[in-house]
Amino acid sequence: MFSACRKESFPGKETKQSGTTFVYINEAGGDPAIQYFDVFTDVKPVVLLTVRRDAASNADLQKAVTVTLTADPDSTNNSGLTPLTSNLYTFPTAADVASGGIYAGSGGVTANADGTVLTVNFAAGEFAKNIIFKVDGSKLDLSNTYGAVYKITNFGGFKGKVGYGEIAAGLAVKNGYDGKYSYNGTIVRTPAPGTTDATPQYGGTIADGHTIDVVTSGPTSDALPAIFWADGTTQIGGLSGLQLAVDPATNKVTVTAGNTYLKNIDGSDNSYDPATKTFHLNFAWTTGGPGTSGREVHVTLVYKGSR
């Protein structure tokens, strides 16, 4: 059996040469785009963001166009980023661009004196431009996340892609403790005098297979964004701002939190072993001072890799 159909004539344009050409920031569309780097004290070229044009036709691709991005200082401050001021970086030179490598695709990008206005010149046939900052690591404060909120303010005559016209782009330097760690140990829950523990299942040996992030907050300090009860899935409340401060001379660790009742347990080990990249932590707190319920955490964190 055979079948066939008749193809009607189509008066429109061939689809590969029609439609809408978009200009957008490649890394936009979600949470702040933060890049984390190991400690460096030299000058590192960082691709902070990439501007693209998705050409709907060869004619649009062959146009030489200029796209402008403008920094928004108020949004930068509200995003929690420390402004990446001009004393911390330089832009690539013509020699850098000619050298290729990471600088490939960064030609034609210029900036004003303080980096608040970026001009991106697309030559005919170019579809992507890397915005590179040559960052001087010796001038960075490890407690800061640097960056800026940039918004496309001139699309070069093309259309912006919804949700991809603005980005909070940043960079931060990780200290030597930063990373993903296994999370093992025990949690002890002590009810207030005269009461019983309403959720005793939260105490005991922490379930195997869980990890926790240790996040740089300073040259020798790190934050634990969340810790969990023994079930490994339910987060402990009331411990916002949990911090590990390491004394590099002794490798002793001091645990603190927004809860002022949280302290190291006297006589117990709170230390960091640099040979095995392991934290030994023993700390305790009460829920409201003397006469209230208490908690103890006895955990070992072993480095598993970068987060």
Does the pTM of the predicted model rise above 0.85? no
- The tens-digit pLDDT sequence of the chain (307 residues) is 555 444 444 454 545 566 999 999 999 987 789 898 988 899 999 999 999 999 999 999 999 999 999 999 999 888 889 999 999 999 999 999 999 999 999 999 999 999 999 999 999 999 999 999 999 999 999 889 999 999 999 999 999 999 999 999 999 999 999 999 999 999 999 999 999 999 999 999 998 888 999 999 888 999 998 888 998 889 998 898 999 999 999 999 999 999 999 999 999 999 999 999 999 999 999 988 888 999 999 999 999 998 8
**CATH (one of 3.30.70.20, 1.10.357.10, 2.40.128.420, 3.40.50.2300) for 179-305:** 2.40.128.420
Q: Residue 127: how many CA atoms within 13 Å on its side-chain side?
A: 11
Domain ranges of the chain: 17-173, 179-305
**Dist CA 129 CA 45 (whole Å):** 15
Three-state DSSP at 228 gives strand
Question: Which among 140, 170, 226, 157 is positioned nearest to 48, based on CA atoms?
Answer: 170
Q: Token pair of 30, please?
A: 């979600």
Q: With respect to CATH, is domain 17-173 assigned 2.60.40.2030?
A: yes
